[in-house]
């Protein structure tokens, strides 16, 4: 199991490095594809993945990414409203085939998966975005690694949450401090000294958000009695199992990079 997980992780990292370094439309379409798969996995938790309303959600997801890519934010809200209206039309025409929780999940998925994940390519398209984008992965995977190591070495106090019985307070703090340190070292290698503290702050905040994202994905799975969102990535589960933290971190990193004037 560990070997499978390790090999899958290496392949994922290699693909991520190649696509993020190249950027451009390949990155955009990879993120769009990941969003679609993530939506499929999320919709499957409420048995809606192959329904007409779900197809509307998939089409809407692609259009949303295109609107965000072209900075057409003035049309984004209108498109979401139009999507909601069409979905509700399916809801009432097919009634009682679907329930309100299922329909809510369809629209929630567009915000939770598509819009939040789109900030990966938005961040990459900024000037110096080829470097900024790695803060997302420092906050997600770097934080996770540090939290795991610290938790195993000196974790004694359990987190006060039923969602994380194996997580410790020491591990969470270690993840935050570890991510901040990695962010600092990353800035040390590529940026002038005036930026070093900013990268440490962004990475540390990202670690906090990363843990919230991880617990959010776990809560949804618990609510629907599933272990993993899918089996697409051997040893890791589905797209949402691997990208749950990145979904939350991407918009936060983008906003902090812009706010801190990097």
Give yes or no for a contact between 26 and 101, defined as CB atoms under 8 angstroms apart.
Answer: no
Residue 155, pLDDT score? 66
Mean pLDDT to the nearest integer, 161-169: 74
The contacts of residue 36 (CB under 8 Å, 6+ apart) are 58, 61, 62
Residue 181, pLDDT score? 92
Instruction: Say what the pTM is.
Output: 0.90
Could you tell me the pLDDT band of residue 57, with boundaries at 50, 70 and 90? very high
* Residue that wins the pLDDT comparison between 241 and 261: 241
Mean pLDDT to the nearest integer, 166-190: 88
List, for residues 69-83, the tens digit of each pLDDT value: 988 888 999 999 999
Long-range contacts of 17-25 (CB under 8 A, 24+ apart): 20/124, 20/130, 20/133, 20/134, 21/130, 23/124, 23/125, 23/129, 23/130
Q: How far apart are alpha carbons 242 and 174 in whole angstroms?
A: 21
- What residues does 233 pair with on adjacent strands? 237
């Amino acid at each position: 199991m560990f070997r499978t997980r390790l090999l899958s992780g290496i392949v994922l990292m290699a693909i991520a490095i190649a696509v993020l370094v190249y950027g451009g439309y390949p990155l955009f379409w990879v993120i769009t594809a990941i969003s679609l798969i993530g939506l499929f996995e999320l919709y499957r938790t409420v048995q809606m993945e192959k329904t007409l309303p779900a197809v509307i959600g998939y089409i809407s997801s692609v259009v949303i990414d295109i609107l965000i890519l072209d900075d057409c934010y003035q049309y984004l809200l209108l498109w979401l409203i139009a999507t909601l209206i069409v979905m509700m039309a399916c809801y009432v025409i097919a009634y009682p085939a679907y329930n309100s929780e299922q329909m809510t999940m369809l629209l929630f998925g567009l915000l939770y998966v598509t819009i939040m994940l789109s900030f990966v390519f938005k961040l990459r398209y900024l000037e110096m975005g080829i470097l900024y984008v790695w803060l997302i992965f420092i906050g997600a995977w770097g934080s996770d690694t540090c939290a795991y190591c610290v938790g195993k070495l000196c974790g004694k106090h359990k987190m006060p949450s039923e969602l994380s019985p194996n997580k410790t307070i020491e591990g969470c703090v270690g993840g935050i401090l570890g991510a901040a340190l990695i962010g600092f070292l990353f800035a040390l290698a590529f940026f002038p000294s005036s930026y070093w503290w900013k990268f440490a702050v962004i990475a540390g905040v990202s670690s906090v958000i990363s843990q919230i994202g991880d617990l959010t994905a776990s809560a949804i799975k618990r609510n629907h009695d599933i272990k993993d969102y899918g089996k697409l990535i051997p040893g890791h589960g589905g797209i949402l199992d691997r990208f749950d933290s990145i979904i939350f971190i991407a918009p936060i990193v983008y906003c902090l990079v812009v706010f801190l004037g990097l």
